[in-house]
Amino acid sequence: MKMNNVILKTTTQVVFFIIFLFSIHIFLAGHFAPGGGFVGGLLTASALVLLLLTYDLKTVKNLLPINYMTLTAVGLLLALGTASLSAFFGEAFFMHYFDHFNIPLLGDTELHTAMIFDLGVYFVVVGVTMIIIQSIGGDE
């Protein structure tokens, strides 16, 4: 039976971007407000799950050609690289650095290397969640 779910498809096309932007906001707010890499990654994964629910596995793979195994590996590499960066400078493992920079549009901004570690956590969470959901949901 052919189903015409045009309401769900139109809603998804709007709501997907709202969830994705909100997940990026949560990810960036993690230092001074509730949030961080884990919640942001889960929200991005839930936006992708919404796409999977509305369309099918093959369409989403054509839409976003991401290999989630590679994404998980890149995330782990980012986390490990940030942690071992200070070891190369002769300081303790997991030493983080931060400084204030003057970015043209944002003004005085505090950039922190813990952010790159958080980006690794974000990638790992998105990758692992999508691997689990795709490999369970893709079974016939």
The residues binding other proteins (CB under 8 A) are 2-3, 8, 15, 19, 22, 26, 29, 33-35, 39, 43, 46, 49-50, 52-53, 55-59, 133-134, 137-138, 140
Closer CB to other proteins, 49 or 114, in the complex? 49
Which of residues 46 and 113 has its CB atom nearest to other proteins in the complex? 46
Write down the least CB distance from residue 123 to other proteins, Å.
20
């970015």: which residue's tokens?
Answer: 103
Binning the chain into helix, strand and coil, the percentages to the nearest 5 are 70, 10, 25
Structure tokens, 125? 């969470």
Judged by DSSP in three states, 110 sits in: strand
Q: From 26, 22, 50, select the one nearest 37 (Cα to Cα).
A: 26
We find the least distance from the C-beta atom of residue 15 to other proteins, in angstroms, to be: 7
